[in-house]
Amino acid sequence: MGLLDGRTALVTGGSRGLGRAICLALAREGAKVAFNYARSDPEAGALVETLRQMGAEAWCFKVSVLDKPGLQGMVRDIEARAGTIDILVNNAGVGQVVPLALMEEEDWDRMMNINVKGAFLCSQAVLRGMIQQKRGRILNISSLAGVKMMQAPVHYSAAKAALKGFTEALAKEIGRYGITVNCLAPGVLDDGVSGNLPPAKKDDYLRHCALGRVGSFEEVAEMAAFLVSDRNSYMNGATVVLDGAV
């Protein structure tokens, strides 16, 4: 028996990186897995094939997290195939290393749109079904940069901090329907956005990390799978920091 047997999950930004690892972890725990992606058709197709080879029902959708009609159509399609969406993981996000003095307004808007507005639109798209079934799990993927004072791009830190506030407010609003909303804030990982970290900053992180190493996509994905499972039934509005103790 897996943690997520009989559940259907939607992971945003699922075709590669952390999103891909989360899709794989959820499938290993027995979930049907759907994910959206923006650009990489070969990677998305390969992941669907991998998930199906694992024995999971799996679907992918090429739709932006900022395309409200497209998201609504995706949700209807998933519900028609699977019946309900029980789990939403708001993982889609972008990073950019640029100082505030050189930041363009478009840089700020893109960061806020994809990381924050995308989570709002995707959550809104699945909530009607979750409220009707009076059950659901929403997990927002934030970052250590959004919960601790650290040297990180201002617009990235602001966007990830916004997800923490979004989590807490939404948890209060929809808890009465049996839906939990939590937030997962990883520290520096061995790939993805953390790959843009200058060597000196990475070394400084490692000096302060009690475990003396960076984390992996797989470690974050395993925590995500637990957080959206029924074994985690009373946590709500919480932000879990996964950073090896910095």
- Out of 37, 156, 177, 205, the active site residue is 156
H or E stretch covering 9: strand 8-11
Please report which helix (H) or strand (E) contains residue 183, including its range.
strand 179-186
Catalytic (active site) residue 177: no
Q: Which tokens belong to 148?
A: 């601790």
Residue 11 dihedral angles phi and psi, to the nearest 5°: -115, 125
Non-local (6+) Cβ contacts of 178 within 8 A are 134, 135, 136
Q: How far is CA 154 from the centre of its chain?
A: 20
Q: Rounded to the nearest 5°, which phi and psi values hold at 228?
A: -95, 5
The answer to whether residues 89 and 12 touch, using CB atoms and an 8 Å cutoff, is yes
Q: Catalytic amino acids?
A: 156
